[in-house]
Structure 1
């Protein structure tokens, strides 16, 4: 009887150990609206300046559901909807720039996975669009960083324009919020800038992107502290 009990316990341990634990979700791949594009497929909502857009993405492994997050870049307002499939619809403002991403989730694990973030314009009555607000790469807003041996830090950002006529950037940088000091104007071929800084100081900066049609877009103020 004792040997039988030991054998049963051993088999139970093997059975328990043989079960695979739930794996963390994998990031989804976005499909539509396409990156840096104009979305023209929205369905009009009567009596409003909104249209219903269907977002879609490619299924990711180890995922039960997805959170779709779409942010109006003019108002910085984010809408979130959960979906168990690979698409979801949202009513969004016409003629406005948006960013969107998908978060893959599984109720059996705490980890989630974020997709890339794509930008698009929801079609409106205009025939020309302002550039997308510049996306800060570094320094991340709220971060504390070190200056280099030349007492400088690198401001780095990404810019895009659905009309492909992005002309350049105006860079505002100062120790006051909001920054009102225009330190330089750059062509669209350059999206980074070395600036001189001092230790134990908080700096604020923003980018005004402009195109050949005279349209412009300003991103949110970013801040960082120098050690």
Structure 2
């Protein structure tokens, strides 16, 4: 009896001293503040005739030690990245150009990271009208494998925006060839999805061309997906 009591006491002591507290809390995604979504950024410091220094700002996120700001030139798809422990960072970017920006939250105690949403904006230039932002392809995700529906179709989904708010149409190009050059439909400014016929075991490529009322166009770039 005494031996059993001693054994139970030792086990209780081990549990109390070596209990598993669980994994460290993962960082949370930051809320973006400036430049605002789908806006024209007119606040910045002129560096030269072609460049402006913009200060990006976001709100602090929980369980976060550092942030990585990523700013992507949507004309060249070239990113600029900068890390900071504060909630702002400045980068020099090209005038009159569309950009996408986001923030990644990190914590050295966790192997997980958290990404903010992505916002688009135009860095102000000399132009008075702006080309639409390139459409952001949403579904199917690039490189994904999807199931066709009972009608042997997959629905393509995207989002579009324009500083001037004058998008006229979206034209969808879809084929088994990269880059896709076959137009499969044109939708109006409020319709951002289109069903397309597919076959199992086939890889497809798609892109969306956005046109505004001034005749300006922008290209989304190409996504691909495979059908089960």
Other-structure match for 1:22: 24
Could you list the per-position Cα deviations for residues 141-164 of structure 1 after superposition, in whole angstroms to 9, with x for gaps in the alignment?
A: 111111111111000000111111
Cα 1:153–1:21, aligned 2, differ >3 Å: closer, same or farther? closer
**How high is the TM-score relative to the length of structure 1?**
0.91
2:75 is aligned with 1:74: yes
Other-structure match for 1:57: 58
Equivalent position SS for 1:78: strand
2:142 is aligned with 1:138: no
Query: What is the Cα deviation at residue 186 of structure 1?
Result: 1.1
* TM alignment of 1:98-109, pairs within 5 A: 98-109=99-110
Separation in 2, partners of 1:94, 1:118: 17
Gaps of 5+ in 2: 1-5
Other-structure match for 1:122: 123
Separation in 1, partners of 2:28, 2:172: 37
2:195 is aligned with 1:209: no
Separation in 1, partners of 2:183, 2:21: 61
Query: What is the Cα deviation at residue 20 of structure 1?
Result: 8.3
Separation in 1, partners of 2:151, 2:53: 51
Structure 1 vs Structure 2 CA RMSD:
1.9
Other-structure match for 1:220: 221
Cα 1:15–1:54, aligned 2, differ >3 Å: closer, same or farther? farther
Gaps of 5+ in 1: none
Could you list the per-position Cα deviations for residues 94-143 of structure 1 after superposition, in whole angstroms to 9, with x for gaps in the alignment?
A: 11111111011111111111111111001111111111101111011111
Could you list the per-position Cα deviations for residues 170-227 of structure 1 after superposition, in whole angstroms to 9, with x for gaps in the alignment?
A: 1111111111111211111100001111111111111000111111100111111111
Query: What is the Cα deviation at residue 16 of structure 1?
Result: 6.3
Point out the more displaced range, 21-30 or 195-204.
21-30
Length, aligned pairs only: 220
* TM alignment of 1:148-187, pairs within 5 A: 148-187=149-188
Separation in 2, partners of 1:59, 1:212: 39
Q: Paired residue for 1:39, among 35, 38, 41?
A: 41
Other-structure match for 2:3: none
Query: What is the Cα deviation at residue 22 of structure 1?
Result: 3.3
**How high is the TM-score relative to the length of structure 2?**
0.90
Equivalent position SS for 1:172: strand
2:106 is aligned with 1:87: no
